[in-house]
Structure 1
Amino acid sequence: MDRPAWRRVWNRRPGDPPKRVFWTLLALTAAGTLWLRSIPLGDFFAQLVALWVWFGLAVAWLALLVSGLVRREGRARLRTARTRVRWLVAPVLVVVLIAALYFQVSLRARFALSEAALRKIAVATAEGRAVELGQAGLYRVTEAEAVPDGVLLTLDGADGFLTTGGGFGYFPNGVPPMANRDVRFTHVWGAWYSWWEAF
């Protein structure tokens, strides 16, 4: 007689790699993390929640591995090449994710798909023309501020810890000094920079 689906999901042998529930949570958390980091700074509290989820996944992975190592049956299963490879998939994926975050892959990809719409708002603002804020590509622009030699676009969701705002800056001639403001810039590409302002 076949076992119920929930028994097949949860019934584990010592040394078995993580199963469907773990991989589903891992995939959702990785996708959510990349999305959060596709905005300059990103939502601080949402990223804090994601960090705790990652911690829980790491603890679960380690606990499952240790439970296999402490039992003879589990150690025998862990000696097989196929099982070792399956155990290594999660750490390898995490390393790839960390590299993607370090090189801002998700931010650059989302920005590339939105650059034309963002540029339209930035140029109109720099020229003093009326501009309609709101959805611009895959970002939502909440404010467009003309500053010396450029424009600061404030984005919805770019609210890091102890900051007053953030987004993208458009500076065709490079970033000038920002008098009386603690604004930090990071080059994205071309005339574009990500920015955030501290309290």
Structure 2
Amino acid sequence: MPRTGEEGFTAPEGARGMRPLARALVGPPSWLLLPSFTLTGLLLLYGASVPGGYFLSQVLGGLLALVLAIVWVTRFVMGLGVDGLSGLRRNWVRWAAPPVISVVVIGLIGVDAPLTARFRLSEASLERVAREVAAGGHPERDEQWVGLFHIGEIRQIEGGVSFTVKDAGLIYGEGFAWCPAGPPEPDGTNHYWHVHGPWYRLAQGF
């Protein structure tokens, strides 16, 4: 009768008698590996939830994703070689979960879903502060939370108000601009991309 391992799956026939390290690399992704894929995906989504991204979160998430991909491919190839397709079919859900998580994360980042969701949830708070600053009733100040964004700087600009998100982007400051009459004239330094309504993404230069 096939032996059941500590992780709750049936050990492949060819894995019996293998050394512990080799045996650990055979079989479906463990219940430790699957949450690791999920947490790495969440880290990447978080890193993509601000204009320009959180650089450190994206780098760390990318490195973790690479390591996990190597581990998954290694287990898949060894499992296929030891137990064949029949062994993969027995635990197909656990084999399929990491690629599915990866595709979902890549797809969400590809359509800017993390940034869009975070902005939509914060839009009312951002607009309230923008109107107060434009009317002179809210001080321009640094380091405050507005909605779900940690804002590093709020400033009046031509025709509106700019919000620079703290730690967003790699070199230049990035954030949003509220400009009801349209974006300021290009000055070769700051760049604007329309989001919707009076809102624009802002990338600051030197």
TM range, normalised to the smaller chain?
Answer: 0.7 to 0.9
How far 1:23 moved relative to its partner? 1.0
Residue of structure 2 equivalent to 1:8: 6
1:61-86 C-alpha deviation (Å, 9 max, x unpaired): 10000111222x244312x3x53343
1:148-187 correspondence to structure 2 within 5 Å = 148-158=158-168, 160-163=169-172, 165-181=173-189, 183-187=190-194
SS at match of 2:6: helix
Q: Give the % identical residues.
A: 32
Gaps of 5+ in 2: 16-25
SS at match of 2:41: helix
How far 1:53 moved relative to its partner? 0.4
* Alignment: residue pair count: 187
Q: Give the letter aligned to residue 170 of structure 2.
A: F
Flag the 1:197–1:147 CA change in 2: closer, same or farther, 3 A.
same
Residue of structure 1 equivalent to 2:119: 111
SS at match of 1:45: helix
Larger-gyration structure (1/2): 2
Q: Give the letter aligned to residue 96 of structure 2.
A: L
Q: TM-score, normalised by structure 2?
A: 0.80
1:1-199 correspondence to structure 2 within 5 Å = 8-9=6-7, 13=12, 16-71=27-82, 73-78=83-88, 80=89, 82-131=90-139, 133=141, 134-158=144-168, 160-163=169-172, 165-181=173-189, 183-199=190-206
SS at match of 1:24: helix
Q: TM-score, normalised by structure 1?
A: 0.82
SS at match of 1:177: coil
Q: Given that residues 132 and 138 in structure 2 are in contact (C-alpha distance below 8 angstroms), is that contact kept between their aligned partners in structure 1?
A: yes
Gaps of 5+ in 1: 1-6
